[in-house]
Structure 1
Amino acid sequence: MVAAGEHLYDLPEDCISTIISLTSPPDALKLSLVNSIFRSVAELDCVWNAFLPSDWQEIAGNSVTPLKFSSKRELFLCLCSSILIDGGNKTFALDKSTGKKSYVISAKELSIVYGDEPEHWNWKTIPESRFAEVAELKMICRLEIQGKMKTGELSPNTTYGAYLLIKISERSFGLDSIPVEISIAVGDQESVSSTAYLRHPRNKKKEQMESLFYRNRVEMLKTRVNKGDKRMPCEREDGWLEIELGEFFNGGNGDEEIIMRLMEVKGYHVKGGVVIEGIELRPKH
C-alpha cells in the first residue's frame, strides 16, 4: 500500500512493473502516457511477457513471414495484427484488449465433401482473402464442411465462438431456401446443434423469388431439418460474412478435439454460389 503523501511512481521499478502487468494491454498502453517514469516501466519486456501467450516463441517461429520486433511490446502489437502460420493455411492473432488467442483455419485445412472434384468446387485466388486459395461452390446436392482444432492451442479459461467465413455470389442458387444444420462439439461432450441460412442479409428479393417458385418443395424439405434458431450471416468489417457455428468454454484442462460442422444433406436440393474462406475461432466478449 502506498503511504499518504506518496505517489505510485515513488515505488521501486519492479513493483510498478508488477502492478502494470496485472492490468491489461490497453491499460499498460494508457499508463505509458502518464509520465516518463510510467512510460519507461510500461515498455519493459517483463510487463509485456505477462500479456503474451506462453508459446509465443513457437507461434512466432511458425510465421510465414519472419517477424521483426525489438521489444515484447512491439511483438504483442505485431501479433495483434494477424500473421499467417502453418505454411499459409492458418492465421493467428491476439485480442488487443485481453491478449487471448484467435485463429482462422483456411478452407484448405477444412474437410469439404467432394472438395477435390472440379465439377463441384473451384479453388481460386481472390484479393479479398488472407489465404492463397478459397473454395467456391459450383454446384452440389450435398453440402458438408467440417473443421477441427485442439483446445490446447487456444487460451485457457476462455469462452470461444466458431464462425464460418463466407461470401455469397450474385449468381448463387438454392442456398437460402432450406436452413443448413450447424454444430460444434468438444471432446466427449455431446454436440450442440442449431440451424442457419446461407443468405446474404441484404438480398431479400432473391429469397422471395425462390420461395415463390419452389414453395411446396421447400416446405416439405424444411420438415426434415432439425429445429434450431435459424441464424443469419452477419457482415464483417473485412467484407466477408460470418455464421456462428456455436460456442464453447475452454477450461484449459486438457487437449481435446473441437469439431465444427455445417451440413445440408436432406434431400436432393441443388445449390451453388457460396465461397468458403475458412473457420475463425475467437474469444467472445
Structure 2
Amino acid sequence: MLSSRSLQIANNQPQYWKWISRQDSRFPECAELVSVYFLAVTGEVLPSELSAGKNYAVYLVYKLARRTSGLKGSVQTSSLRLYGELILGTNKVSLDPEARGSASDVTYPVARDDGWLELKLAEFTNDDEMLTEKGVIVDLREEDVSKEKSGLIVEGMEFRSI
C-alpha cells in the first residue's frame, strides 16, 4: 500500500490539497483535495518490489468528503505507464459510488469493510519483461478544466496480487 504521502496529488501543489488526520485510516495522514481544475493522483512502484510472475490489480483507496464539487457524475481516466513513457492501458473510471452501473464501459468504486472506497485503476502482470522496467506508474486523471473539483480524501494506492 502506497500511503497518500508517497503519491503525487494535484501536481503536488499544496494550494490544491491539505493534509488531514482521520482516525479510520491506516495512516496518520490523508490528503484532501481542496480545489483543482486538473485532477491528478499518481503512484509509482518498482517492479522489483513486487513478486515476480504475479498478476496485480491497482486500487485507489479514498472517501468523498461531505461536500464535494465536480466529482459526482463525471468520468475520469486511469492509466498504467512504464516509467512514464509507454502506456499499457487507459480505462474510464468514476469516483462516484452512486453512479454505479450507469455506463457499461466505466469502472465504479466498491465499498470496503473498513468504510473506505476502492476503485480499480489498472491490472498488470509482473513478468520478466515488466521486471526490466524502472517503474510502474498508475494514475487517475480528470482533465476537464471547466469544472472545479474538491472533496476527494485519498488514503493511498494499493497494489494487490490477484
Identify whether the pair has TM-score above 0.5, normalized to the shorter chain.
yes
Matches within 5 A, 1:59-208: 104-118=1-15, 120-186=16-82, 189-201=86-98
What value does the CA root-mean-square deviation take over the aligned residues? Answer: 2.0
Answer 1 or 2: higher relative contact order, Cα 8 Å, separation at least 6: 2
Find the counterpart in structure 2 of residue 19 from structure 1: none
- Conservation of the 8 A alpha-carbon contact between 1:134 and 1:276: yes
Partners of 2:88 and 2:111 in 1: CA distance: 26
Larger helix fraction of residues:
1
- Conservation of the 8 A alpha-carbon contact between 2:10 and 2:17: no
Q: What's the offset of the Cα at 1:235? A: 0.6
Q: What's the offset of the Cα at 1:170? A: 2.2
Matches within 5 A, 1:265-280: 265-280=143-158
For 1:30-68, what per-residue CA distance to the aligned partner results, in whole angstroms no more than 9, with x for missing partners?
xxxxxxxxxxxxxxxxxxxxxxxxxxxxxxxxxxxxxxx
The 3 A distance-change label for structure 1 pair 271 and 189 is closer
- Conservation of the 8 A alpha-carbon contact between 1:182 and 1:193: yes
Q: What's the offset of the Cα at 1:178? A: 2.0
Matched, 1:263 2:141: yes
Q: Residue type matched to 1:133 in 2?
A: E
- Conservation of the 8 A alpha-carbon contact between 2:10 and 2:41: yes
- Conservation of the 8 A alpha-carbon contact between 2:21 and 2:28: yes
For 1:57-94, what per-residue CA distance to the aligned partner results, in whole angstroms no more than 9, with x for missing partners?
xxxxxxxxxxxxxxxxxxxxxxxxxxxxxxxxxxxxxx
- Conservation of the 8 A alpha-carbon contact between 2:121 and 2:139: yes
Partners of 1:157 and 1:168 in 2: CA distance: 35
Q: What's the offset of the Cα at 1:138? A: 1.7
- Conservation of the 8 A alpha-carbon contact between 1:233 and 1:241: yes
Partners of 1:153 and 1:283 in 2: CA distance: 12
Equivalenced residues, count: 156
- Conservation of the 8 A alpha-carbon contact between 2:55 and 2:126: yes
**Identical counterparts, % of pairs:** 31
Q: Residue type matched to 1:158 in 2?
A: K
Equivalent residue of 1:157, what SS? coil
- Conservation of the 8 A alpha-carbon contact between 2:10 and 2:36: no
**TM-score w.r.t. structure 1 length?**
0.51
Q: What's the offset of the Cα at 1:116? A: 3.9
- Conservation of the 8 A alpha-carbon contact between 1:149 and 1:258: yes
Q: Residue type matched to 1:260 in 2?
A: V
Find the counterpart in structure 2 of residue 4 from structure 1: none
Find the counterpart in structure 2 of residue 251 from structure 1: 127
The 3 A distance-change label for structure 1 pair 255 and 129 is farther
**TM-score w.r.t. structure 2 length?**
0.87
Structure 1: 5+ residue stretches without partners:
1-103, 205-227
